[in-house]
Each structure stands twice: as C-alpha cells, then as structure tokens.
Structure 1
C-alpha cells in the first residue's frame, strides 16, 4: 500500500500577483462597478431578446417573471429583500396593463424596452459584488488572527498561550492536493474553482483557503440567504461575493446571473461557485451539477478565442475542490429536508439551527477551541472540456496526447460564433468530469467510514424494510456488537486502501494502524457537536446510534464507491 503520512504542508505562501492587491482583477471590477452593471444589463437584454424574438413572447416572459416574483414576495420573503420590492412589482404590473390596451406598436416596444431594462438593471445591481480592499484586509485579519488565538489557547497551556504563534489555522484546516499547480495556473490564466457544498460555512472556509494560498480574491456566487445572517453578510461582502438568489427561477434573472459570471470571467476575474447549486441535503457528494453557471465558463472561453485571445493568460482552468468535514453544522435540518422531499411530506422540516450570527459565533468558538480538523482537497486543473492540464496550462486528452482546446470551438478553420447545442454538450462533459474528480479527491475520514459501515450493517439486517420504515426501527434494534462491527469495518477499510492505491480516492492519515484506534477516532469525531450523536459506544462497548437520520446523513458521504457489497 502507498504510504499515508501527514498529507498537508504547513507554510506561508507568497502572493501570486507580485503587484499587490491593486493589481487584482476583482479590484478593477469593483472600481468600475457601475459601468460593469451597465455592461451586464446590456448583455442580458441582448440574450433575452434573442430567446424571445417576438413581442408576444417577451411580454409573456415578463408576465411570468412578475407572477413568480409576486408569489416569492408573498410566500417566501427574506430580511435581505429590498423594502420597495412590492412597489416596484406593482409599477411593472401597471405598465403591462397599459400595454394591453395600447394599439401603438412603437409605443408598446418602447415601454417593453423600459420595463425590461429596469428589471434587468435591478437584478444586476442586486447580484453585483462590492469588494472593498479595506474590508477584505480586516476580514482576513479577523479570521487569521482571531481564530489562531483561540486555537493556541486551546492547544497550549496557560493564559499567555493566547498570544502564542505556535499554531495557525493551517493546523486546523489542512489544505492538501495540487496546491502548487493551482498557484502556478493562477499566474497563467483564469481559475474557476468548483467546490463541494455541505455547509453555510463553506464560503468563509474557501475564502480563507484562497487567501492562505496567496491567491488574489475570487469573485464567487454566495446564496442571498446568507446575507440574512449579519456575520456572513460582512464576510461575504468583504471576500468578493456576488449574490445568487435561488428563489428566482425566471428567465430574466437566470440570464442576468449568467451574463454577470461570463463577463467577469472574460475580464480575468478568478471565480468560484458551488456547482451543486446548494448544500447537499443528503450528505452525499454531488452527482448532478447545475449547468447554468458552469456553462458560463464554456462561453467565456469561446468569447476569448473569438476575440483572438490565444495566449495562456486567457485560458480558463477548472479546479475541483472537496471540503472534508467530520461533522456538518446543519446536518439535522438538511437530512430532514432531504427525507421530506424524497418521502413526499412524510417528514417535517424545522428551521436551520444555525440561522443567526450568535449561533454561528458560538459554533466557531467551540470549533476552534475543541474538536476535529477540516481537510480541503485541491484537485488537478482541467480545461473547460474536462481535460487535465499541466503546469504550463497545456491540455491533454485521456490518451495523454496534447490538444488545443481552440479546435473544439472551430469549424472550417473559423471560431464558431455561437453553437448552443455544442456548448450545452461541452457543459455536460465538464460536469461529468468534475463529479469524477470530486470522488477521486474526496478524503475518506474515519468518521465517514464508521458511519457508512454501521448504517449498512443495520440496513442489511432489516433489508425488507424501505428506507422510511427502517429509519423508525426501535432503539433496541439499533445496536451492533462491537466485534461484528470491527470485522466488517476491517473488510471495508481494506477495500478503501485498495482504491487509494489505484488513485480512486484519497484517505486521511488516521485510516492506518490499529483498527480499534481507527474506530475509536471515527466514533469520537463523527457528528461530534450534535445533541444526539449519530454513532457512539454503550456501556457494554457495543456500537449504537442516538439518531438514525443523522447516521444516514454521514453514511451518505461514501455512497458512490460501491462499498456496499463489502458489508
């Protein structure tokens, strides 16, 4: 077996951009925010008109948008929503009514143009980030200095340990994988980072990782719901986030969002978005990705080629990242929601436990003074077609043959202006490759493995029950004799090691050595902050669960590797 030692390097990285923060593309974008919003608005209007070439189809699309927006305001309002939203929507409705009684086609077209422009500009202004250098520096200082102080206080002894610099966040958050390749590619082109998504903390975590690696700030799509939480709103604004409102499903909004992403990438802004679209409700690594924002990478690459930008600086690189936790803050509410949606209302969803700044702050304090580590796995760089690239940015197909990605956007020696069908297919290809990479670079923790084995053993014992009836089995049936558990655990562990040797998955250094110690480590860490633990030992030393739903959630992290047949 390949040796599994300490899998991260603790070091201070120099800044990738030697000119400092003023040279960052995101700073230029922020300095010209108003002009960029106008550019996004114009591009979005052009897209929408292309999709709705007839006057009647445009009117229908605006009416659909109005209906959905009024429904959203009524049924699902958020604190972060603008206070004048109802008035704005009413004004749109009034003008649409005027159009319906107007016979002057030129007047109708002019009014439609005004309505469309107002809606799109409003969307673009809402989406647009507002990166500020001073805030960025302050946020970075709060995270790196404040949490490092807590970390030193917890790991060293005595009052003065709080001022120690022995431990840094890299001792708590382990950055592993293709770090140097990422830094090199960031100098040669535009990076689009695509992480897995399990927790609301992911955005702050990945923002810190980007800063710690000496990379310039990325723009990234953060759920607008996060801006309801003040502590998140501050960090998101500071770290270059643009806002994504998952409630808005209308064409006008989605095209504006895609225009924003594509134009920013074309301007060389490194970008980050969670391709799963939202947090994984089941705890499973994403299998189906949202293709909307992902397609903007394909589009931006094609536009760069159209503009004659052939040098490496205008090549776009996709970098998959997995965030590996022993526990997820919101797991109880996420798995309830998953079961409710899957089980057709048989489960009731409660509010997110971590929905206020106070609760988030309390958790962060607990996390940095106790608890287990987080691992962030950086994958190999890909081009927009999903091919691996080397550190010079050259693309290679599955046979290891160097290829020119421009050829995939060329027909008869000319760059294709726009072939939606072809770009849709490229987006699907890229999506499939990202999912493959997620599973390859996913780091198996002992906590994941004990949860997987325990849940599979219990489910096989009650294999005639469907999932929902199984999740209701009585407590006395949720106990597994330790020796039985250990035997199965060792079998599955051997298979995980085989997969690791083949490069099919990554593993934690804690997954080597004495099986009893590995199991003990897994039990100590899995879902460690939940009031009801997903897995624990009883007084007899046997394994049992205090919450079968939570055990299901943590088990799901290893679904997709065909490990079930080894249980």
Structure 2
C-alpha cells in the first residue's frame, strides 16, 4: 500500500532556472513587434497567392461576405463589440474601390487592416504572474476536492494528504520529453476528447518541469469566463473555427509558424476539435502541422551552420473514464453521420457554473485519468533519441535537413512539404493507437455494445441505437466470457506494442468488470452501463454507450465477440 502523502508520480525539477528564460515569456515581451511581424508576413503570403489586383479584390469580397454571414448566423458573446462596425467599414471601402482604376495600394491597406485585426485576436497574452496564480489555483482547488472525497472527514478539505498526482497518472516518455525541450522546440500533439484537456495538459506540462507551452484554444471556450481566465493565463492563443476564409487561416498559420521559429514550445490538437464519436482521431487537420514543417525548413535556411533548433513532435493520449460532453458530442456525430436519420438534441455545457459543477463532480469521483506520452519524433515521423538525433526504420542516424534539400541546397517546395505533412499525420495516428491506454471502462463498454450489435446484426446502427431498454439485457456469465476473450486479445496487442493498458485491467476479472461498469459514464444522469437487480448487464443510454465503446474501436477486437 502506498504510504500516506506520497505521490505515485515522480516530481520533476524545472528544466530552466527561471520563468524569464521561458520562450513564451520572451515572445510576450515582444508581443506588439511579433504581431506586426505576423501581419507583414501574412500580407506577403496572401498577396503572393493573389498577384492580380482583381484577384485580391475578389479575395477581400469573399472574406467580407463570409464574415457578415458569420456575424448574422452564428454570433458569440466573446465577439468584440465593434465587429459589425468593422466589417461595415470594410464593405464601404470596397464599394468605393469598385469605381476606381486598379491601384492595388488601397486593396493592400484594407487587407493589412483585416490581417492585423485577426492577428490581435489570435495572439496570446501570457503573463508570468497570472500563470503562477492559475497554476496554484488548480493545484490548491483540485487537491482539496480529492482530499474531501477520499478522506471523508471534517477538515479534510484543508489537508494535503492526496494530490492531483494521485489521480492523474503520467506514463510514457516523460524523461525524453524533458531532454528534447532543453535542446529543441517541442510540438506536443494530444488526442482531444473534453474541454478539460487544455487545463489538464497545462498542469502536466507544469508537473514535468517544462516551461509553459503556447497552444491554440477554441475561441468558443472564451465564452466561459473561468476557462477564459485559465487559458489566457496558461499560454493560449485563440482559434475561431467559424472563420474559414483564406486570410484568417493564413494569419493563424503564420502566427504558429513564427512562434515555432522563435523557439516557443507549442501544443496542437491535431484532430482540430474534440472527438465527436469518442474514437481516437483517425484523420488529422494538416493546417497547424504544416506550420511546424514550414518553421523547420525556415529554421534550417536561416541557420546553414546547423545552429538552429530542431522541432520535435511528441504524441500524447488522454484517457478518461467519462467525458462530461459525451451525450452532446455523440448526438452531433450521429446527426452528421446519418443526416435525416437522426435528430440532434441540445446538451451543451456553456457556462462557468456548469463547468465548475462538472469539475466538482469529476474530482470527487474515484475515477482516474491517464496521460500517456509517446516517443519524440522529427517532422518526418522518425523517432529521435535523447540527444534529438533522428533514427530511420533501419536504426541508422539521419540528418533531417536532407529532407528539405535539393541539389545540395535547402529550398522551398510546397508540394514536397505537403506530402511530408500527410505522412507525419498518418504516423501520429498510429502512435495515438500504440500509446493509448485501455481502461476497464473502455473495454466493458466495447464488450456490451458489440454483443448487442451482433445479437441484432440485421439492424443498422441507428436501429440498434433505438432498441427499447427491455431488449437490452446481457446475462452476466455471457458478458464475463466475452469480456475475458477481449481482455486476452488486448494483452496480445500489448505484447506487440500496439496498445497500452491500465494496471487495474490485470486484476480478477469480476473485480475488473465491476470497476469498469461503475466508472463508465459515471457522471451522466442516464448511465450507459449498469447492473440490474439480478446482476445482469443493462443500459439506460445506448447512444452514450456507443460513444464509450468507440474508444477501443480500431483494434479489430469485434472479431472475438
């Protein structure tokens, strides 16, 4: 038994002596200058893509049209109060240009105003004092919630017997991550399931003794005041996924590109948004990944003596027993997948009160979280050693610079880099599955759903999801037999290094099943899996069960039901 007050996870010293040396702090000191550099580099990129004056006017008109639609159809509280006025001014300026000869100077000035507005919105505003305060609030508040629920006596709220490290298990290549962060620029790429992910990863970065990372957080989260405070304090820059126009996307990518060239460690959620289905991401967004590719090439070009920092990709998987947003997310996924076959219900958690209520429930339940850190890779998906040297599939050391070289010179080749980015995204997906940690809750959900799916094999997915609860009962012994077979297959996958498992999965099978069923979706009012009075397995929410089932999808386990 673990001694009282001891943490399961090792305590790490900071890799840098003080916060003033953090790349994100240095970047924020030059915030205005950095924003202007982002503006000018984006302006250059957009004008190169629109060489003709008429082309540029059309690009501006398209942006205006899309932005006015966004304001009308999908406004958010976080939008600036002068949003409508700004775009009305752009509209009037473009109308004035319509009758003038093509000069381009005025078009470029309108473009510059738009880019500057985007860059100022995107840019983070990291402050050391707020970072430290946010970090201490997280440590203090969550730790006391843990003590209050685990000790269950008066005064436990104010004690330090248990810490977040007792609840959040950090596994994998933490030591290598620390070493790589000392010698290069790290891009951490986690799976994304919950709005809690950003705060959780920020805490993990602190525990590992790493300097603060910058990361893109959905602008919608800034509608929630408590999240806005923490994300502003922890290094977030804003990403507005409503904005699909070329000018905004180029501004966002340039901000990320230049920050990486400045050595700012970064965090991308490469899936782009939370997984709606509950599955590990299988198709990644290439936009921000491509900025890392371009930043690495630019760094090599600026430092022909090989003194520039190397960029390292570090995959991370986050494992929860339950996700607050699961019912809303799976509703949205099924609606997208089935079109008219499915009706979307509204189940959003969009206020500070609701998020605080969830955190209280989450941290007072006996449910663990696991953060699995994968091996570091270069931009081509090759593993690197602790010195940051790239190793090919034959075990040979290779120079990443060679991948960006043509006829002895590093050159710009967008088509080549696009191919590299696609290759990297596929390798990251494989790494996600390899370092994923199977919990008992994941496996019981998979087992139950697949048993019902096979029993009603003539029905399509939507018909299975609509089955009445009285038809959804699995005798315990049948469930136990199927679960045992699947667990054995998971063990085999573990031996092949194709997946990882939580230690509790090796316990007595009845104990594991009981643990899994008690943990899966424990917060939800309608439980996705539970025992009836006879001890058999039932569900009160087949759709949410499907969400949790999907976490273990992609390993071929359904063949053993």
- Which residue of the partner structure matches residue 100 of structure 1? 98
Give the deviation of 1:58 after TM superposition.
1.1
Measure, in 1, the Cα distance between the counterparts of 2:246 and 2:150: 52
462-471 vs 35-44, which moves further: 462-471
Taking structure 1 as reference, are residues 137 and 352 closer, same or farther at Cα in structure 2, changes over 3 Å only? farther
Q: Which residue of 2 aligns with 1:66?
A: 64
Point out where structure 2 has 5 or more consecutive residues left out of the alignment: 1-6
CA distance in 1, matches of 2:333, 2:152: 43
Q: For 1:90-134, what per-residue CA distance to the aligned partner results, in whole angstroms no more than 9, with x for missing partners?
A: 11111111111112x33xx12101100000000000000000111
- Within 1, Cα distance between the matches of 2:307 and 2:556? 40
Per the alignment, residue 3 of structure 1 pairs with none
What do the CA deviations read for 1:183-228 (whole angstroms, capped 9, x no partner)? 1110010000000000111111111111111100000000000000
1:392 Cα offset (Å): 0.3
What's the offset of the Cα at 1:369? 2.0
The gaps in structure 1 that reach 5 residues or longer are 1-7
Question: Matched residues in 2 for 1:94 and 1:406: separation?
Answer: 48
Q: Go from structure 1 to structure 2 and tell me whether the alpha carbon gap of 1:68 and 1:318 turns closer, same or farther (over 3 Å shift).
A: same
Are 2:488 and 1:490 aligned? no
Q: Give distance in 2, aligned partners of 1:87 and 1:160.
A: 54
Q: How does 1:179-328 map to 2 (within 5 A)?
A: 179-308=174-303, 311=306, 314-328=309-323
Alignment of 1:334-483 (within 5 A): 334-416=329-411, 418-483=412-477
Alpha-carbon distance between aligned partners in 2 of 1:404 and 1:198, rounded to the nearest angstrom: 35
Q: 1:313 to 1:88 in 2, by over 3 A?
A: same
Q: Tell me the residue number matched to 2:54.
A: 56
How many residue pairs are counted as aligned between the two chains? 555
> How many Å apart are 1:312 and its aligned residue?
6.8
Per-residue CA shift, 1:385-409, capped at 9, x if unaligned? Answer: 1000000000011111111000000
1:458 shift after superposition: 0.3
Q: Which residue of 1 aligns with 2:124?
A: 129
CA distance in 1, matches of 2:518, 2:162: 22
Asked if the contact 2:212/2:234 (under 8 Å) is kept, the reply is yes
Of the three residues 91, 105, 118, the one matched with 2:89 is 91
2:513 paired residue among 492, 511, 519 = 519
Checking the alignment, whether the CA contact within 8 Å between 1:527 and 1:533 is kept in structure 2 is: yes
1:312–1:393 contact (8 Å) kept in structure 2: no
Tell me the TM-score normalised to structure 1 length.
Answer: 0.96
Query: SS at the partner of 1:314?
Result: coil
**Cα distance between partner residues in 2 of 1:263 and 1:202:** 25
Distance 1:378 1:352 in 2: 32
Report deviation, 1:149.
Answer: 1.7
CA distance in structure 2 between the partners assigned to 1:347 and 1:124 by the alignment: 39
| Preserved CA contact (<8 Å) 2:485 2:560 | yes
Contact 1:9–1:176 (CA under 8 A) maintained in structure 2: no
Q: 1:132 to 1:352 in 2, by over 3 A?
A: farther
User: Hey, what's the Cα distance between the residues in 1 that align with 2:366 and 2:150?
Assistant: 11
- Aligned residue for 1:393, secondary structure, equals coil
Match of 1:163 among 158, 163, 168: 158
Quote the residue 2:4 is aligned against.
Answer: none
Q: Secondary structure at the match of 1:233?
A: helix
Return the offset for 1:11: 2.4
Q: Quick check: 1:536–1:544 contact (8 Å CA) kept in 2?
A: yes
Map 1:145-164 to 2 at 5 A. Answer: 145-164=140-159
Change (3 A) 1:312 1:434: farther
For 1:363 and 1:513, the matched residues in 2 are separated by 30
- 2:351 & 2:157 partners in 1: Cα distance? 27
Which piece of structure 1 moves more, 134-143 or 476-485?
A: 476-485
